[in-house]
Amino acid sequence: MLAEQVEKLLAQPLPWPIVQAGDPVLRAAARPYEGELSDETLSALIAGMKETMHAAPGVGLAAPQIGLSVRIAVVEDSARERPGVAESTLATRGIVPLPFRVLVNPTYTRVGDETAAFFEGCLSVHGWQAVVARALRIRLRGTDETGAALDEELSGWPARIVQHETDHLHGILYLDRAELRSLSTHEAVARRWTQPTPADAARELGFDLP
């Protein structure tokens, strides 16, 4: 069944549509990938996911976001300058390059007790951001598209990206973990909340930071 779904997707022009909140596929725990696709088909799927992620633009894309309930995701962040965001803010948020990689059946565990809270958005919740507290450091495990084991520690924004995309594979949206009083449009964040931390937003919107 997965192979048929992927073949139908590959027949569509790129970039592929991104599923939006309200679709059940985003709320179901995706099934593990167990090698159902040929190497050629898997490579084509990954290439399409990468192009769709770049076109959005985004720094991660999970298979459920293109309608496939399987535990595969792609992530990448060149950490290039964000429009309207100062270099000091990028440093405070731990935004550093995350090379392109494929996550197959990924899991993560937190490393240490440190938590970081920042505004976060999602390609499947178009136009909105909210403050989410996440582990500052994690240990990522899983495999890549070749079956090679992944076992590494990540921190800062790369750790946040991996947590966000892995959550998608368990039917979890960032809003489930967010301070909902912080919910803001992209325009409001760009106009009001570009400070290095969301402390001002917490004070003015009335929510607590961890």
- Please give the average per-residue pLDDT across 74-102, as a whole number: 85
Helices (H), the chain: 2-10, 39-55, 87-92, 156-168, 186-192, 199-205
Reply yes or no: is the peptide bond before residue 83 cis, omega within 30 of 0.
Answer: no
| pLDDT confidence of residue 84 | 63
Given a cut of 70, whether residue 82 has pLDDT beyond it is: no
Cβ-proximal residues to 71 (8 Å cutoff; 6+ apart), any chain: 30, 31, 32, 33, 63, 104, 105, 106, 169
Class of domain 2-115+135-172: alpha beta
- Please give the average per-residue pLDDT across 191-207, as a whole number: 96
Catalytic residue numbers?
165
The pTM is what? 0.95
Instruction: Label residue 202 by pLDDT band (50, 70, 90).
Output: very high
- Please give the average per-residue pLDDT across 14-23, as a whole number: 98
Given a cut of 80, whether residue 117 has pLDDT beyond it is: yes
- Please give the average per-residue pLDDT across 154-174, as a whole number: 98
Q: Nearest-CA neighbor of 56 among 162, 127, 130?
A: 127
Instruction: Label residue 49 by pLDDT band (50, 70, 90).
Output: very high
Mean pLDDT of the chain: 96
Least confident of 27-41, 86-100, 109-123: 86-100
Given a cut of 70, whether residue 192 has pLDDT beyond it is: yes
Least confident of 80-94, 129-143, 156-170: 80-94
Q: Where are the domains of the chain?
A: 2-115+135-172
Given a cut of 70, whether residue 80 has pLDDT beyond it is: no
Instruction: Label residue 181 by pLDDT band (50, 70, 90).
Output: very high
The number of angstroms, rounded, from the C-alpha of 80 to the middle of its chain's C-alpha atoms is 17
Annotated binding-site residue? 164: yes
- Please give the average per-residue pLDDT across 182-192, as a whole number: 97
Annotated binding-site residue? 122: yes
